[in-house]
Amino acid sequence: MTQEQHFDVAAYALGVLDERDAARFEDHLIDCPACAIELESLLPVVDILSDVDADALVATEQSRRDGLVLKKMIGEVKRERRRANSRRLYSLAAAVVVFAMLSIGALFAGAQWLAPDQGSQPPAQRSSKVLDPLPVAEGGGGFGGTPLPGETFSTTDSRSGVSAAVGFEPKDWGTQVSFAVSNIKGPLTCRLVAVRTDGNAEVLSTWTVGDKGWGTPAQPEPLMLVAATALPRKDIAHVQVQSIDATGSTETLVRVP
């Protein structure tokens, strides 16, 4: 690109460039965000200029000759602006699209570079700092499908019939608790509670169960969620899935392990 092409913005906006110079400037515009921004800022000025009353402006000129030249210029601007307006807008739109695509591409590449592909890491290389992803719920998720991350346990409560699988994964910041719940019918409001070795309890997660339930004939897939706690794994005795009624009373549906 040349310095002269940067000076063509106003001329192009006024529509006074010939076809060859206009085409050359449009090629330059695609690669020059500065000119694209300047062109966009000039378009309102050109619109205002095209609406100027040339006769009234000429009347204020001291020199009749200069006034006639100005009137002729404004009239030419009106005609050229109407003819070139669509072309300018298309060129500006094309430049904006190109810049947007380049920006999105740069962000995508940066994200790929900054974020490692954790899905391809074997279990032995899981990060100790971030949450591990849940497996796809195939064959019941934690109930015969892909196991949950970490140390896993599963059980079915003989009274409620609710089944649960839990994976405990130690982290630098505490413990990731991944869990899958099946054969649970709604509507219900539920929560996951971690019971400490000292007998105290901590609520880790809450959710609702709709009419279809989870792990039921109406919705065969289990509910799979992830919770995080500052508790070290050694301080967690077990977890409970509890239901909560409108009065705040709770009922344990299943305990793991």
Domain boundaries, the chain: 3-114, 130-256
More confident call, 153 vs 42? 153
The predicted model gives 22-45 an average pLDDT of 77
Residue 109 has what pLDDT? 44
pLDDT score, position 35: 79
**With contact defined as beta carbons under 8 Å apart, do 213 and 168 qualify?**
no
Report CA dihedral (234, 239, 244, 249) to the nearest 10 degrees. Answer: -70
Max mean pLDDT range (8-22, 49-63, 114-128): 8-22
In the predicted model, is pLDDT for residue 111 greater than 50? no
Decide which of 158 and 103 is more confident. Answer: 158
On whether the CB atoms of residues 206 and 190 are closer than 8 A, the answer is: yes
CATH number of 130-256: 2.60.40
How high is the pLDDT of residue 132? 72
Query: How far is 28 from 16, CA to CA, in rounded Å?
Result: 17
Kindly report the average pLDDT of the chain as a whole number. 76
Handedness of CA 18, 20, 25, 30 (dihedral sign): positive
Percent of all residues in the chain with a pLDDT value above 70, rounded to a whole number: 59
The mean pLDDT of 159-164, rounded to a whole number, is 96
Report the pLDDT value the prediction gives residue 64, as an integer from 0 to 100.
54
Instruction: Using pLDDT thresholds of 50, 70 and 90, give the confidence band for residue 40.
Output: confident
pLDDT of residue 206 exceeding 90 = yes
